[in-house]
Amino acid sequence: MTTLEQFRDTFLEEPGYLNYASIGPVSATVRDELRAEYDSLTRMRFGAGDRTRTHDDRLADAVSAMTGHSGANIIAQPNTSTGLLRVLFGLSGHILMSRDEFPSLPVAAVRAQGALDRLSITWIDGADGRVSPDVLTQALNDDITAVAVTLVDARTGYRADLSAIRDVIGDRLLIVDAIQGAGVIDADYAAADVVATGGQKWLRAGWGTGFLSFSDHALERLDPVISGYTGTAEYEPWGTVPDAARGSASAFTVAGPDYVAEARLSAAIEEITALGIPQVEAAVLDRADEVIAMLDAADLPLVSPRKRDEQSGIVVVRPAEGRLGALGAALHNTGLTTTARQGTVRFSVHAGTIDSTFRMLKQALLVYRSSTDT
């Protein structure tokens, strides 16, 4: 069992970092895992290769504990976008999604539609990053066979309610891009038919890590179009090209996995599971509330939700016209790392964001306010 303080001890970044929604600094646990794996691969003692391959099952077990899907239905991916392409190319029928989702989803859908001409898309417009059950209910029709959403919207920090979405869409496939929030949001992943994510943000596992997690229903419906030799039922099918092992997660693989990446992601998820995602989420939202209070004191209009059950670790403001530059300068000159996009500034905090970072933010906002007063 891990305590919150032990979990926080694995955060190594320097003061001023408020950008987990872009890059999650690698945890001490993942760093140590990486060093151990490369030391093993460098020396390659007898049996080292066999031991390294066990990370495939290790990752499946770790992800299964998080998503509720069977371990047999989980495969490693190098990133979220690759996973979504494999899923959308395997989908036929009619999919519903917001046009304003992070580009990974709409690009994958349009590419699949253009290449195979068996997928139709109904776009939701005007959701402003908030794909709620009510929004979906208004857009649903009898032709729609699948719905795709992001767990947390990258531009507003709005958290989708997967349980409520499942209730309104019925037995249609639910595909979730979980890159924003995986590991820190206590979501009902079992309500989803496909969960796709990378591990380089909130999971703090570094680039090249990720997974696809399927329900049995999804594997029955999806066609493994992007499928390599490892996606067949035969081991190394020399001299023949068997069909993909339809109905299995392995059918969506193209080659052997990056076992070191699997080790890093496994270590990251195991650490979070040891503490408990609800405990991590509570700590993240408490830190986010501190940011919101400081931004309110600086009279910065909040774009992200205030309701606790819609919040995430992402807090976003839209400064008044002509004031974005002043805020950006104050943050930069204080040494704070944030993201500015389309007239907004995004702050993203984790459970381990340290107090000195909040003191720096308070100082930056004082500078910003003073520039407003003059």
Q: For the segment 73-90, what is each residue's pLDDT rounded down to a tens digit?
A: 999 999 999 999 999 999
- The whole-number average pLDDT for the span 93-107 is 96
Measured CA to CA in angstroms, residue 321 lies from 119, 299, 316, 326 at distances of 41, 13, 16, 11
pLDDT band at 144 (very low <50, low <70, confident <90, very high): very high
Judge if 60 and 154 occupy the same domain.
yes
Pairwise CA distance, residues 336 & 358, whole Å: 10
Q: Can you give the pTM of this predicted structure?
A: 0.95
Judge if 268 and 282 occupy the same domain.
no
Judge if 120 and 204 occupy the same domain.
yes
Judge if 156 and 287 occupy the same domain.
no
User: Helix, strand or coil for residue 227?
Assistant: coil
CATH code of the domain covering residue 104 = 3.40.640.10
Judge if 95 and 228 occupy the same domain.
yes
- The whole-number average pLDDT for the span 269-284 is 97
Judge if 244 and 312 occupy the same domain.
no
User: Closest Cα to residue 316, out of 101, 11, 21, 80?
Assistant: 21
Please give the mean pLDDT across all residues of the chain: 95
Q: Which of 275, 301, 334 marks a domain boundary? A: 275
Residue 49: predicted pLDDT: 74
Residue 1: predicted pLDDT: 65
Residue 109: predicted pLDDT: 97
Pairwise CA distance, residues 32 & 28, whole Å: 6
Total structural domains in the chain? 2
Judge if 17 and 160 occupy the same domain.
no
CATH code of the domain covering residue 367 = 3.90.1150.10
Q: Which of 248, 275, 302 marks a domain boundary? A: 275
pLDDT tens for each residue of 61-76: 999 999 999 999 999 9
Residue 44: predicted pLDDT: 80
Judge if 115 and 139 occupy the same domain.
yes
Taking phi over 0 as left and psi of -120 to 50 as alpha, with beta for the rest, 170 belongs to left
pLDDT tens for each residue of 287-342: 999 999 999 999 999 999 999 999 999 999 999 999 999 999 999 999 999 999 99
Pairwise CA distance, residues 200 & 206, whole Å: 4
Residue 219: predicted pLDDT: 98
Judge if 313 and 350 occupy the same domain.
yes
Judge if 36 and 152 occupy the same domain.
yes
Judge if 21 and 62 occupy the same domain.
no
Which domain range does residue 209 map to? 28-275
pLDDT tens for each residue of 217-267: 999 999 999 999 999 999 999 999 999 999 999 999 999 999 999 999 999
Residue 265: predicted pLDDT: 98
Is the pLDDT at 374 greater than 60? The verdict is no
Judge if 91 and 122 occupy the same domain.
yes
pLDDT tens for each residue of 106-132: 999 999 999 998 999 999 998 788 999
Q: Which of 275, 307, 342 marks a domain boundary? A: 275
Q: In what order do the strands lie in the sheet with 146-150?
A: 74-76, 210-214, 194-198, 173-177, 146-150, 93-98, 119-124
pLDDT tens for each residue of 154-181: 999 999 999 999 999 999 999 999 999 9
